[in-house]
């Protein structure tokens, strides 16, 4: 449905769009909904929207955002070219804030991009595109409070009868989960899924609740029951990764390997979104004692084109170090670290200097058989490692690796202290923690 504000067309959520026509805004609406639902082909629809309405700057800005999500040097350059060709929108308009955000992001100023998006949301609290992109950027930045509060600030503008209400509930649910409010997160996600079972982000928020609470069996049941609603999503690999984590904690190694082969890495994707999940799952399997060398060698070969370009997002390169280390390609792993030390720019450089390089060095040392060096690196930065981005569930691999390193280094008392800490936080992980210590003890 297209609505109007005065004589100006507005999007599906009631926010004015400059330069729109009926066909262009219809395609833009569908493109934005694809992003909210993590489904379909938002890039194609954004291009069609721009072609149908050449003066609709928001369609081209949205296309730039989608390129930026790729987090490669080429995709960032593509986005920079797109935004450089967009004429200045009217001052104070929604489009002006979005263009500033896309320009800042493509220039490597990620916090600057979030500030511009927050201005867009102050101007138009029902700007669904600004809300989704802002939370995703806060995710990339590891900004826990903003993951929640970016949605909290606009909740009153989204009554239940408004189109998009469910998506906003799911966005808020994920932010609540990352801040430990598991009960409200579950309620919000369940409400969103009742409104739209194919809301993949809300499925994802529920998976995180089960993971953080250590409800492995319930998590398996939930993910299995909802597979038909998310298996065709471009986010499906990540949901399969969550499904695999539940089995990994239960000690079901063969099941996890099967999930890796047939779901997580069923095709040699070069999307960082998929590569990160593959590397992280293999690393976890390895520290629990599984032989993943052959799979890691294939993954390291697949990602060679990605690590041959300039660094963009150290979270990605951290996972590249995992894959390369497991494959025994230590020299290439060290080159990734060196590239981040020499070539990182903007926000990525700041993060690298604060904690990212130390994180990469710690994981590289572990793969090279130097657990004492891993301990030295990780023990000092794990409390600030959120700056590299990702979720609590993704960064949990830091604590797992620290525990494995303590066991390998013969630091028995430290290993026990870390195990106690972990089991106090997540009692259902006790058996898995003991398996991890056993797999890495001398």
Task: Give the pLDDT of the chain (442 residues) as one tens digit per residue.
Answer: 444 444 589 999 999 999 999 999 999 999 999 999 999 999 999 999 999 999 999 999 999 999 999 999 999 999 999 999 999 999 999 999 999 999 999 999 999 999 999 999 999 999 999 999 999 999 999 999 999 999 999 999 999 999 999 999 999 999 999 999 999 999 999 999 999 999 999 999 999 999 999 999 999 999 999 999 999 999 999 999 999 999 999 999 999 999 999 999 999 999 999 999 999 999 999 999 999 999 999 999 999 999 999 999 999 999 999 999 999 999 999 999 999 999 999 999 999 999 999 999 999 999 999 999 999 999 999 999 999 999 999 999 999 999 999 999 999 999 999 999 999 999 999 999 999 999 999 7
Per-residue model confidence (pLDDT) at position 5: 44
What's phi and psi for 309, nearest 5 deg?
-105, 170
Per-residue model confidence (pLDDT) at position 258: 98
Q: What is the pLDDT of residues 340-383, one digit of tens each?
A: 999 999 999 999 999 999 999 999 999 999 999 999 999 999 99
* Radius of gyration, alpha carbons of the chain: 22
Q: Which helix (H) or strand (E) holds 9?
A: strand 8-10
Tokens matching residue 199: 């809301």
Query: Which residues, 6+ apart, have CB-to-CB distance to 259 below 8 Å?
Result: 240, 243, 244, 247
Per-residue model confidence (pLDDT) at position 442: 72
What's phi and psi for 56, nearest 5 deg?
-90, 90
Report the candidate in 146, 173, 157, 172 with the shortest Cα–Cα distance to residue 122: 157
Q: Which helix (H) or strand (E) holds 5?
A: strand 3-5
Q: Are 72 and 140 in contact (CB under 8 A)?
A: no
Q: Are 173 and 185 in contact (CB under 8 A)?
A: yes
Q: Please give the span between the terminal C-alpha atoms of the chain, in angstroms, as a whole number.
A: 65
Tokens matching residue 41: 């082909």
pTM: 0.96
Q: Which residue has the tokens 């597979």?
A: 227
Residue 109 gets which letter from DSSP? Answer: -
Per-residue model confidence (pLDDT) at position 1: 46
Rounded to the nearest 10 degrees, the angle between the axes of helix 128-141 and helix 57-69 is: 20
Report the candidate in 29, 27, 33, 32 with the shortest Cα–Cα distance to residue 49: 27
Other C-beta atoms within 10 Å of 155: how many?
A: 15
Q: Are 415 and 437 in contact (CB under 8 A)?
A: yes
Tokens matching residue 214: 């250590």
d(CA 176, CA 145): 9
Integer CA distances (angstroms), 313 to 166, 276, 300, 348, in order: 30, 12, 18, 6
Q: Which residue has the tokens 């949990």?
A: 396
Report the candidate in 135, 148, 129, 149 with the shortest Cα–Cα distance to residue 11: 129
Q: Which residue has the tokens 């799952």?
A: 281
d(CA 95, CA 89): 6
Average pLDDT, the chain: 96
d(CA 422, CA 361): 23
Helix, strand or coil for residue 16?
strand
């Amino acid at each position: 449905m297209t609505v109007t504000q005065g004589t100006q067309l507005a999007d599906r959520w009631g926010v004015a769009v400059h330069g729109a026509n009926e066909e262009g805004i219809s395609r833009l609406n569908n493109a934005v909904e694809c992003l909210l639902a993590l489904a379909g082909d938002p890039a194609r629809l954004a291009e069609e929207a721009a072609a149908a309405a050449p003066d609709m700057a928001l369609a081209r800005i949205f296309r730039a955002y989608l390129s930026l999500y790729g987090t490669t040097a080429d995709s960032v350059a593509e986005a920079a070219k797109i935004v450089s060709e967009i004429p200045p929108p009217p001052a104070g308009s929604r489009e002006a804030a979005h263009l500033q955000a896309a320009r800042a992001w493509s220039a490597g100023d990620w916090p600057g991009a979030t500030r511009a998006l927050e201005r867009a949301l102050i101007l138009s609290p029902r700007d669904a595109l600004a809300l989704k992109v802002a939370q995703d950027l806060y995710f990339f930045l590891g900004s826990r409070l903003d993951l929640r509060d970016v949605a909290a600030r606009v909740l009153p503008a989204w009554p239940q009868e408004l189109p998009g209400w469910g998506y906003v509930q799911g966005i808020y649910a994920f932010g609540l989960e990352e801040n430990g409010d598991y009960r409200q997160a579950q309620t919000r996600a369940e409400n969103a899924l009742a409104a739209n079972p194919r809301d993949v982000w809300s499925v994802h928020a529920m998976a995180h609740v089960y993971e953080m609470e250590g409800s492995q069996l319930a998590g398996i049941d939930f993910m299995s029951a909802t597979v038909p609603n998310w298996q065709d999503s471009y986010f499906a690999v990540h949901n399969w990764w969550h499904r695999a984590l539940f089995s990994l904690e239960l000690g079901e190694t063969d099941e996890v390997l099967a999930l890796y082969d047939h779901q997580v890495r069923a095709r040699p994707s070069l999307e960082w979104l998929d590569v990160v999940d593959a590397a992280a799952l293999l690393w976890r399997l390895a520290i629990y004692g599984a032989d993943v060398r052959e799979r890691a060698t294939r993954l390291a070969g697949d990602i060679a084109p990605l690590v041959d370009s300039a660094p963009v997002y150290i979270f990605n390169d951290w996972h590249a170090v995992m894959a390369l280390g497991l494959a025994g390609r230590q020299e290439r792993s060290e080159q990734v670290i060196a590239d981040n030390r020499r070539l990182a720019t903007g926000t990525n450089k700041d993060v690298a200097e604060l904690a990212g390089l130390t994180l990469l060095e710690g994981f590289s040392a572990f793969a090279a058989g130097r657990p004492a060096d891993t301990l030295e690196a990780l023990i000092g930065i794990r409390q600030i490692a959120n700056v590299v981005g990702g979720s609590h569930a993704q960064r949990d691999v830091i604590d797992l690796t620290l525990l494995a390193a303590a066991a390998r280094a013969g630091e028995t008392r430290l290993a026990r202290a870390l195990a106690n800490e972990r089991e106090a936080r997540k009692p259902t992980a006790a058996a898995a923690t003991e398996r991890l210590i056993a797999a890495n003890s001398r």
